[in-house]
Amino acid sequence: MKKTFYKFLFTKIWGWKVEGNYPREVKKFLITVAPHTSFHDVPIGIMFRNWYEVQINFVIKSEIANHKIVGPYIKWLGGIAVDRSQANNFVHAVADQYDKYDSLYICITPEATRKKVAKFKTGFYYIAKRANIPILPIIFDFEHKTLHIKELVYLSGDAAAEIRRVEEIYKGYKGKHPEKSFS
């Protein structure tokens, strides 16, 4: 019933569709989502994961996740509290989560902001590399109301080339606010 309800919301009410296949057979990977230009990305992601019946978590500032009022709700939605005060601690904290579970999908926005950026922050790469997991790029294409699930990206160790390769996947797509989309 829940699956049908979220599929109805996603496709009929919001008018979105999904292209590509979610790799359920792979038990751990890092999901990168872009372009991230609006808070509207959150309900789209929640509808998708409930329709597809997959537990996709996300990282959130520990100050928000540990807040007395909104914290329990954020954790219920799948938020994992991470201290973002130091870049290395963030990468290690997220990567170390993968050691705690048999199956884990964490979603992050490689832009790390809803503002326009010319290049991704590199943390997504180093999280996946440290955790020894692939990256699943997912595109929020507001222009065509399509969530594109791309092929898994397995890392070999050439950081600069692999970061550029992931960035190239997202070029040309428009977020909710096109002027803020990754270019």
Domains annotated for the chain, with CATH where assigned, are 15-175 (3.40.50)
Other Cβ atoms closer than 10 A to 54: 13
pTM of the model: 0.88
* pLDDT at residue 29 is higher than 90: yes
Among positive and negative, which fits the CA dihedral 32, 18, 78, 97?
negative
Reported confidence tier of residue 146, pLDDT bands at 50, 70, 90: very high
Cα angle value 135/137/142 (rounded, 5°): 160
Give the pLDDT score at 105.
96
Cis, peptide link before residue 35, omega less than 30° from 0: yes
Tens digits of per-residue pLDDT, 151-179? 999 998 899 999 999 989 988 888 676 56
